[in-house]
Amino acid sequence: MSGSHTRAVTVIGLGPMGRATVKILLEEGVDVTVWNRTAAKAEEMVALGARRAETVAEALAANDVVLVSLTHYDAMYDVLDRADLTGTTIINLSSDSPARTDRGAHWVLDRGGIFLTGAYMTQSDDIRHPVSRLYVSGPEEVYEKHRGLLELLCPTEYLGAGYGTAQLYYQAELAMFHAFLLSVQQAVAMIERSGGDVDRFMALASTTPASYAGFMAQIAADTETGLVADLAGLAMMHAGAQHVIEASEDVGVDAALTRTIQDYYRRALDASEERGRPVPVYQIVRGDIDRGETVRGDTHRAG
């Protein structure tokens, strides 16, 4: 981490992540000015040592570096629409799509500002959790200038000059996380509705994710060298999904998530039959089959 960093910043937006950000910065001795639509949230931060700006203009005038933590980028437009951003560095920590992030960055640039994208990959608002990190993208010189400040919050991972790149990596991880959370809830419901011991199940199941890294590495390697689908493997996964569906629905548990997963295997099997060759599930997910395209190589492994 850089030995020097900005000693005074403004934080706009005091939702859970904004408040967590302010608290850490105050703990680290940074002078923080805050602004939020709801005054009560700002007062909570004032009680911890922050200074409250009465208006957005006052908040922006207070410091050259502004951390924005709002629900999405549309909220940034709403809040900063009439603001003078000349010379101001906006580090937007809000969540949105990569395309919307890129448009938001250029919206700031067009108004004379400097822009950096940040995306917290954390355990809820526990920014200092051991596995928390902040994905950052935008001009490298801007990142390096403010790296010391950002690493007061948590370790950073600079992902390149593209403004949307940090959000791309963040949203891709959320694609896994959302499915994981729902699958855990389905599994627990299956156990509970069947009269099983949820605590015992969780103790057993909690060791399984450690093995996922191997699958992830294999998928990544296969996308680089090409993919092979094994028809027997696709059929086995399709049948296995049906067993999960029945085990769920037999005790009244919603199995829509597993039905969606099963549909990918069904589509891969159908595409394999139509093309006279095994088609990997990844080609279905990637959209190649619907476009009549193929992923690099057609002769690999996996399903």
pTM: 0.89
Quickly tell me which residue has 């029945």 as its tokens.
246
The CATH architecture of the domain made up of 8-162 is: 3-Layer(aba) Sandwich (3.40)
Position 1 confidence tier, pLDDT thresholds 50, 70, 90: very low
pLDDT of residue 302 exceeding 70 = no
CATH 1.10.1040.10 domain position(s) in the chain: 170-286
Which residues lie closer than 8 Å to 301 by C-beta, 6 or more apart?
Answer: 222, 227, 228, 230
For the residues 228-242, what does the mean pLDDT come to? 91
Q: Phi and psi (nearest 5°) for 133?
A: -155, 160
CATH architecture of 170-286: Orthogonal Bundle (1.10)
Q: Is 86 helix (H, G, I), strand (E, B) or coil?
A: coil
Q: Look at residue 228 in the predicted model and tell me its pLDDT.
A: 65
Domain with CATH 3.40.50.720 in the chain: 8-162
Average pLDDT in the chain:
92
What are the residue ranges of helices labelled H in the chain? 16-27, 39-46, 56-62, 73-80, 98-110, 140-150, 165-193, 198-205, 212-225, 231-249, 256-275, 281-286
pLDDT at 220: 86
Amino acid 6: pLDDT? 79
Distance CA 143, CA 33 (A): 21
What is the average pLDDT across 76-91?
A: 95
Specify the 3-state DSSP secondary structure of 157: strand
pLDDT for position 265: 96
Percent of the chain with pLDDT over 90: 81
| Percent of the chain residues past pLDDT 70, beyond the cut | 93
* 218 or 137, greater pLDDT: 137
Q: Which residues contact 198 (CB under 8 A, 6 or more apart)?
A: 188, 191, 192
Residue 148 has pLDDT above 50, yes or no: yes
Mean pLDDT of 8-23: 97
Closest CA to 137 of 127, 129, 128, 147: 147
Instruction: Give 209-218 pLDDT, tens digit per residue.
Output: 888 999 898 8
| Per-residue pLDDT band at 296 (split at 50, 70, 90) | very low
Mean pLDDT of 114-129: 94
